[in-house]
Amino acid sequence: MAIPGLAIKSFRNRKFTTGLTVLSIALSVMLLLGIEKIRQGAETGFTNTVSGTDLIVGARSSPTQLLLYSVFHIGNPTNNISWESYEEITANPQVKWAIPISLGDSHKGYRVVGTTTQFYENFRFAGGKHLQLEQGEWFGKIDDAAVGAEVADEFGYRTGDKIVIAHGGGDESFIVHTDKPFKVAGILKRTGTPVDRAVYVGLKSIDALHQDFQGGEHDHDPLVAHDEHGDSGEQGGLSAILLGLQSRSAAISVQRTINEHDHEPLTAIMPGVVLLEVWQMMGMVERLLMIVSGFVVAVGLFSMLIILMTSLNERRREMAILRSVGARPAHVFVLIMGEAVFLTLLAIVIGVAMVYGLMLLLQPWLESMYGLYVDISLPTITELTLLGIIAVCGFFVGLIPGIRIYRYALADGMTIRV
């Protein structure tokens, strides 16, 4: 057919302006797809923060709050769980393992998590991955600490370094236990989860610090003082407990038992469920981003419309010439229309290529810096739908000048009107 060849030649003739339009649409396609890819990555990353934990238990509070402070280290527990409750819960035969967590201290702005070896052994993330050590070992002694990857990176910690822990969260912690420094025993491998942004010490060590602070016996040898308390660590109570059950299906009944616990009001949540709820709450932001990039695409298409419309008048002459050699008004319509569709498709192809190029380039960096894993795979249905919508929009954008030139062709005949 005569027309596609002409359309491509006409496009090549105006390659600079049309090239710029194609580029601007391609960039907006890239933005839209990129945001979608990052959103998917963030969602998997987010829902991957805990896995294999069947229940999280805390003092009575909202499920979201409990999830946020126990897993994401955001906010603080209003109350602690008593040691008795911990023992009662772990006595349930359904409970396979339990990770006690005690919060309330910090190290240079990062959370300090008091816990046990249970944490290292049983905490899992991203579909069942275990924690691993980059260097050294999980804390064994009372003054040992294990640090998350991001903390270690930020301050350049190596095993054997001394770090100091402050009472209270954040930077404005009021008491700094300079007299009782911890030794970095191990550095965790990066996980891309909040685990990277915390320092882990033994429960007993935390209690020792606090005991010391309350007693004000600074001249005492802290280690000796702690040994006297034995293994119980009962003083401070716990902020949260992560539970693994014998079988997943028991989660609901165990949850109910804990929620109806007599001694103190407790809340047990299934992390997967609450994670999803929180993610949907944040969906607002994500939708906003999509809307913004949708507008960017619209602007790109609009600039194509402007280019096509402004070139239309000068192309009326071309249309008269084509008519004189036998072109039908429909040919002339297809020529303009085809150009819009061709430009849009070209922009989509370039945009998609740019997204994949960027992902190949940035994937390792995004993963190591932000723990954001973007999956380089074939476009998902959502992405294909987005691209389809753009293509259809390009088609409709082409219709406008197409219909106009069709009318011109009928009205002008072969009269060349300038």
Ligand X SMILES: Nc1ncnc2c1ncn2[C@@H]1O[C@H](COP(=O)(O)OP(=O)(O)O)[C@@H](O)[C@H]1O
- CA angle, residues 154, 160, 165, in degrees to nearest 5: 60
Query: Which positions lie near ligand X, rule CB under 6 A?
Result: 411-413, 415
Q: How far apart are the first and last CA of the chain?
A: 28
| Inter-CA distances, 342 with 18, 192, 197, 198, 304, Å | 11, 41, 49, 52, 12
Judged by DSSP in three states, 87 sits in helix
Q: Is the distance from CB of 319 to CB of 408 less than 8 angstroms? A: yes
Please select the residue that binds other proteins; options are 14, 141, 218, 220, rule is CB under 8 A. 14
327 binds, among other proteins, ligand X, none (CB under 5 to 8 A by kind): other proteins
Helix H or strand E encompassing 230: none
* Nearest distance in Å: CB 338, ligand X: 25
Nearer to ligand X, 13 or 415 (CB): 415
The nearest distance, CB 312 to ligand X, in angstroms, is 16
Query: What minimum distance in Å lies between the beta carbon of 348 and other proteins?
Result: 24
Pick one of ligand X, other proteins, none as the site partner of residue 5 (Cβ within 5 to 8 A by kind).
other proteins
Q: Residue 287: which of other proteins, ligand X, none does it interact with, CB under 5 to 8 A by kind?
A: none
* Nearer to ligand X among residue 274 and residue 319 (C-beta): 319
If contact means CB under 5 to 8 A according to the sort of partner, which of other proteins, ligand X, none does residue 324 touch?
A: other proteins
Q: Nearest approach, Cβ of 326 to other proteins (angstroms)?
A: 2
Site for other proteins in 323-352 (CB under 8 A): 323-328, 331
Residue closer to ligand X by CB (options 291, 411) is 411
Q: Which residue is nearest to ligand X (CB)?
A: 415
> Cα-atom radius of gyration of the chain, to the nearest Å?
31
Asked if 13 interacts with other proteins (CB under 8 A), we say yes
Minimum CB distance to other proteins, residue 312 (Å): 15
Least gap, CB of 344 to other proteins (angstroms): 20
**Are the CB atoms for 62 and 380 separated by under 8 Å?**
no
Among positive and negative, which fits the CA dihedral 359, 363, 367, 369?
negative
Is 417 among the residues that bind other proteins (CB under 8 A)? Answer: no
C-beta neighbour count of 295 within 10 angstroms = 12
**Under 8 Å between Cβ of 181 and 162:** yes
Please, what is the angle between helix 63-71 and helix 271-324, to 10°? 90
- Minimum CB–partner distance for residue 14 and other proteins (Å): 8
Q: Strand ranges (DSSP E) for 203-319? A: 240-245, 266-269
Residue placing its CB nearer to other proteins in the complex, 214 or 415: 415
CB of 397 to ligand X, least distance (A): 28
> Cβ 8 to other proteins, closest distance in Å?
9
Site string for other proteins, 177-216 (x = CB under 8 A): ----------------------------------------
CB of residue 317 vs ligand X: minimum separation in angstroms? 13
- By DSSP bridging, strand 162-163 and strand 182-188 are antiparallel
CA distance 94 to 250: 7
| Number of residues this chain uses to bind other proteins (CB under 8 A) | 24
**Phi and psi for 51 in degrees, rounded to 5?**
-150, 150
Q: Does 12 bind other proteins (CB under 8 A)?
A: yes
Q: Which stretch binds other proteins (CB under 8 A): 6-14, 20-28, 122-130, 360-368?
A: 6-14
Output the CA torsion sign for 251, 252, 254, 259: positive
Q: Which is nearer to ligand X, 218 or 417 (CB)?
A: 417
Number of H helices, E strands in the chain: 12, 14
Are 238 and 81 in contact by the 8 Å Cβ rule? The answer is: yes
Nearer to ligand X, 376 or 411 (CB): 411
Q: x-or-dash pattern for other proteins, window 283-322, by CB under 8 A?
A: ----------------------------------xx-xxx
What is the distance between the alpha carbons of residues 44 and 154, in angstroms, rounded to a whole number?
25
Helix, strand, coil tally for the chain in percent (to 5): 60, 15, 25
The three-class DSSP label of residue 175 is strand
* Binding interface with other proteins (CB under 8 A): 2, 5-6, 9-10, 12-14, 317-318, 320-328, 331, 413-416
